[in-house]
Amino acid sequence: MAHAESFQDQTAGIRSRILDVLAQLPWDGINFKHEIPGLSLYRVVEPAGPFFTLYQPSLSVIISGSKRVRVGDETLVYDASHFFLTTIGLPMTGQICEASKVEPYVAGQLRLDLEALRRLIANHDLHPTDTSDRDRGVVVGTVTPELYDAFGRLISLANSTDDIPFMANHIQNEIYYRLLTGEHGARLRRFALAGTNSNRVAKAVAWLKENYAMPLRVEALADMANMGVSTLHHHFRAMTAMSPLQFQKHLRLHHARELMLSGSLDAATAALKVGYESPTQFSREYRRMFGHPPLRDVRAILNAGDSASRSSVG
Is the distance from CB of 273 to CB of 256 less than 8 angstroms?
yes
Reference 107, options 139, 66, 154; nearest CA is 66
CATH of the domain at 27: 2.60.120.280
For residues 268 and 139, membership in a common domain is answered with no
152-205: pLDDT as tens digits? 999 999 999 999 999 999 999 999 999 999 888 888 887 777 545 567 888 898
Structural domains in the chain (count): 3
For residues 77 and 104, membership in a common domain is answered with yes
Cα 192 to the center of its chain, rounded Å: 16
For residues 306 and 211, membership in a common domain is answered with no
For residue 122, count CB atoms less than 10 angstroms from its CB and return exposed for 0-12, middle for 13-18, buried for 19 or more: exposed
Rounded Cα distance between 262 and 246, Å, is 25
For residues 208 and 64, membership in a common domain is answered with no
For residues 228 and 144, membership in a common domain is answered with no
Strand locations in 101-200 (E): 105-111, 138-142
CA distances from 274 to 218, 219, 257, 260, 298 (A): 18, 21, 10, 12, 17
Cα 250 to the center of its chain, rounded Å: 15
For residues 202 and 182, membership in a common domain is answered with no
For residues 225 and 282, membership in a common domain is answered with no
CATH of the domain at 289: 1.10.10.60
CA distances from 303 to 28, 245, 261, 267, 270 (A): 19, 33, 11, 17, 20
For residues 31 and 152, membership in a common domain is answered with yes
Which residue range forms the structural domain that includes residue 97?
2-192
106-164: pLDDT as tens digits? 999 999 998 888 888 878 766 555 555 556 778 899 999 999 999 999 999 999 999 99
Report pTM: 0.81
